[in-house]
Structure 1
Amino acid sequence: MRALGLRRSLYLLTAFLIVLLWFFQYCYPGHVERGYIKQRSQEHELIQVLRRASMPDRTVILTMVDESRASPGSLLEVLLQSFKSGEGTQRFLNHLVIITMDPQAFKYCRTLHPHCIHPSTFEAYFSPMRQSTTKPYQNAFSWRRNNVLLEVLDLGYNIIFTDVDVLWLRSPLSNFNPAYELSISCTLSSEGQREGYPRGGGIFFLKANAIAIEFFKYWKFIKVLYPNSDVEESLCRTIIESQDVTNVLGFRVQPVNTTYFGGFCQLNQDMLRDAYTIHANCCDDLTSKVHDLRIVLDDWIRFRKRVSGDNASDEMALRWPQKCPR
């Protein structure tokens, strides 16, 4: 019954949008034509960058940054350095597309990386908003990300999305099964009084097919219908709490072992030995993230030297996190 109700709502929304488009087409043809030309130009830019960055199987790596995450000494620098310092990860820089959310982030991104998307490409989503680490800002950031993911999926590109506060130590591709629409690692942690709050590992794989696109359209549709409701921005929590919808759509999810996608939420002594990526989760302050991730990266480089020097059995005590809470 829920699926039938959802379909009826979608039909009503589609009919309303068709009428609205007809009205603007005939009442304001010049305005619509200029908007269409601008939209086509922005879409062309996006397609060109995705085409240059795509792997042979039409997979791209995406991350999103604003000025606070893409400036001198910011998280973007640490992410790019991890690609250069990881085992077999430097080649992925050719496939990394950085979505910038403001002109300042785009300008700085271009000094570091060839595949940067200008914020005007997603102008409808990136309305000005005060940079912060507060919950409302993080929610808005997540919803903007979801809109971008939907557009890239719609263009037929598989996505490996990585948060900018993730270190790439090894290639994670072997952990993603393309038979599933989504491959994701979810950890359980506490947030205030809510025990067992599911958090993402900062990286996930999305397969570009009709099922994945319908799932993100549904998610976006619910947010539009109920903008003030407690619709979750967390992909992990949404998957856990929307089993009926994923079953109806046939949206298949591959849970990825959290041992391989580590983070500050769940520390273990063998993280450098086992993890493919490490996420600075359970930490809200950006300065603290940069500080602690640089220590992790330094320890990773030291660990690789020990392994190459036949000292792999030597224990390395975790020096992090220091500024982020344990």
Structure 2
Amino acid sequence: MADSSRKLADDGGIQNRDGAGVIESNRQSSCSTWSGRGLPYLTRDVKLGLLFVGLAISCLLLYSSTNPLKFFPMSYPSYSDRKLYGLERVLRSAAMEDNRTVILTTLNDAWAEPGSIFDVFLESFRVGNGTRELLDHVVVVALDKKAFHRCLQVHPHCFALTSNGNDFSGEADFMSHDYLDMMWRRIDFLGVVLEKGFDFVFTDTDIVWLRSPFPHFYPDADFQIACDFYNYEAADKRNRPNGGFTYVRSNQRTVKFYKYWYQSRKSYPGNHDQDVLNQIKSHKYLEDIGLQMRFLDTAYMGGFCQLSKDLGLICTVHANCCIGLDNKIRDLLTVLDDWKMYLAGNRTGDWTVPRDCVGSFDRPHKPHKHGLQRLV
């Protein structure tokens, strides 16, 4: 980790490198005066030293448990050595009954503000049909300190993922440098989750959950992904995938696939993960490793690109084919309003969205403002 004064361990413990250096120095000092005649004094010094260390560690652990933000890494770890401390503990605490399946989403400060996308996302689980219990298995992966703090306030399963000096707290414009870096960091992180043996549903935070998608996943597929446009059969690679919603099983095939996907960014510079996936989805390498890929029908996992016409089938709705955070917020709030009307029996199943997202690529948008939207 870039901050050499601290090191977070998987079990949540803290090791202070500076402190360890002091202990080593004291040990060398004691050894330098060690003689047969001085043995009783050395034993007493060692005992006192061990007592001091034990008390210090106890106080440190107690303080860290009451103030988790104190040890939030202020600079980002290198992905080369996978310093994702505490990740496995968070995943285990959120896993479903099979002890290996979690739901993951990523969050930055702009999307975490009260009244922003994160609140809409959480509310959808509460008003969805059979989705409230799924919220217990959601791990929020915070990309900056403010997002992590906000997550700790409203949700039990939060993990701080950080990056090499980049600031991901603001609203990243589509295809900007920060946007691309966030997308690729996500792919690398998901590969780590697979390496740790966890299956996952990854969901963008600008997706509302209205029903459980699990009944619509294919039992024999390794990697399943939603689509901007679903016009063919589930195994047909002419479908246009959207990386904002995936269901992935942890095995050797998917671990190899995510590594290949991440490395392929070098072959297609300036492209985000979704565009690169479109380039590599038919590569022979995926056939060689035996990866079973399936594309999810937009009738169930839909979005604003190709919105399911049947509210009786829809499970998730993604604010895709849309830019501008406020446009997404307004239209997703309307999705929840339409859904509540449908559940109340006051509507046969017609959407009144998208509205603000329509044409959003063709007009300028202002950065999201605090408090602009009502809370759901």
Q: TM-score, normalised by structure 1?
A: 0.77
Change (3 A) 1:220 1:149: same
Q: Shift of residue 243 of structure 1?
A: 3.0
1:244 lines up with 2:284 in the alignment: yes
Change (3 A) 1:124 1:141: closer
Aligned length: 278
Matches within 5 A, 1:1-326: 37-38=7-8, 43-57=84-98, 58-118=100-160, 122-124=161-163, 127-129=166-168, 131-136=171-176, 137-188=178-229, 198-200=240-242, 202-223=244-265, 225-226=266-267, 229-230=269-270, 232-234=272-274, 237-238=277-278, 241-270=281-310, 272-306=311-345, 314-325=347-358
Change (3 A) 1:209 1:156: same
Q: Shift of residue 143 of structure 1?
A: 0.5
- Alignment deviations for residues 127-163 of structure 1 (CA, whole Å, 9 cap, x no partner): 3255322312332221011011011111100010000
Q: Which residue of 2 aligns with 1:8?
A: none
Change (3 A) 1:89 1:202: same
| Structure 1 unaligned regions, length at least 5 | 1-30, 190-195
Once residues 173 and 125 of structure 1 are traced to their aligned partners in structure 2, the CA distance between those partners, rounded to angstroms, is 35
Once residues 283 and 137 of structure 2 are traced to their aligned partners in structure 1, the CA distance between those partners, rounded to angstroms, is 32
Q: Is the 8 A contact 1:185 1:256 kept in 2?
A: yes
Change (3 A) 1:167 1:132: same
Once residues 241 and 138 of structure 2 are traced to their aligned partners in structure 1, the CA distance between those partners, rounded to angstroms, is 23
Once residues 319 and 37 of structure 1 are traced to their aligned partners in structure 2, the CA distance between those partners, rounded to angstroms, is 50
Which SS does the other structure have where 1:187 is aligned? strand
Q: Shift of residue 38 of structure 1?
A: 4.3
| Structure 2 unaligned regions, length at least 5 | 13-82, 231-237, 360-376
Change (3 A) 1:151 1:110: same
- Alignment deviations for residues 86-114 of structure 1 (CA, whole Å, 9 cap, x no partner): 01000011100000000011111111101
Which SS does the other structure have where 2:182 is aligned? helix
Counterpart residue type for residue 269 of structure 2: S
Q: Is the 8 A contact 1:283 1:289 kept in 2?
A: yes
Once residues 123 and 97 of structure 2 are traced to their aligned partners in structure 1, the CA distance between those partners, rounded to angstroms, is 24
Counting helix residues as a fraction of each chain, which structure ranks higher? 1
Change (3 A) 1:54 1:207: same
Which SS does the other structure have where 1:107 is aligned? helix
Once residues 233 and 221 of structure 1 are traced to their aligned partners in structure 2, the CA distance between those partners, rounded to angstroms, is 11
Which SS does the other structure have where 1:214 is aligned? helix
Q: Is the 8 A contact 1:201 1:263 kept in 2?
A: no
Q: Shift of residue 187 of structure 1?
A: 2.6
Q: Which moved more, 1:213-222 or 1:58-67?
A: 213-222
Which SS does the other structure have where 1:99 is aligned? strand
Once residues 231 and 323 of structure 1 are traced to their aligned partners in structure 2, the CA distance between those partners, rounded to angstroms, is 26
Q: Is the 8 A contact 1:46 1:117 kept in 2?
A: yes
- Alignment deviations for residues 156-214 of structure 1 (CA, whole Å, 9 cap, x no partner): 0001000000010000001123432111122339xxxxxx9934173210111111001
Q: Shift of residue 35 of structure 1?
A: 8.9
Q: Shift of residue 258 of structure 1?
A: 1.6
Once residues 233 and 319 of structure 1 are traced to their aligned partners in structure 2, the CA distance between those partners, rounded to angstroms, is 31
Q: Shift of residue 252 of structure 1?
A: 0.9
